[in-house]
Amino acid sequence: MARRSVGLFCGAAGHDEEVGEVASLLTSELVTNALVHGGGDASLSVGLVPGGVHVEVADALPGDLSPSAWSAEATSGRGLALVEALASAWGVRPSGSGKVVWFELTATPPGGPEPRLP
């Protein structure tokens, strides 16, 4: 449900299919982590940032996170590594008695990056 909601949000906001697919994948990874490792309850928030999307997943378990090493044979453990590799930015912040894990995904406009003004 979360994955589909984020994909629909991205499409409605005018982002191309690739942004929607990557945002959906990363959302799925964060929600799964929250449900499996974060106390079994999660909430999702999605919003727009200039040129992209901002997604937050909150859970009830405090703590900091970092991507862990995983083996090619492992059936889990790749979620944060995917977020780190594919998101434009990501992080973790405390929230109440738990934490919020967030990411931003920005699209490169057709023709390459936007020029920067001095």
| CATH architecture, range 2-67+77-106 | 2-Layer Sandwich (3.30)
Contact 107, 93 (CB under 8 A): no
- Which pLDDT does position 101 carry in this prediction? 94
- Which pLDDT does position 36 carry in this prediction? 86
Domain boundaries, the chain: 2-67+77-106
Beta strands in the chain (DSSP E): 42-49, 52-59, 89-95, 98-106
Contact 55, 46 (CB under 8 A): yes
The owner of tokens 């023709």 is 111
pLDDT tens, N- to C-terminus, the chain (118 residues): 899 999 999 999 999 899 999 999 999 999 998 888 877 789 999 999 998 999 999 998 887 666 555 555 655 557 888 899 999 999 999 998 899 999 999 975 444 454 444 4
Contact 29, 65 (CB under 8 A): no
- Which pLDDT does position 108 carry in this prediction? 57
- Which pLDDT does position 80 carry in this prediction? 87
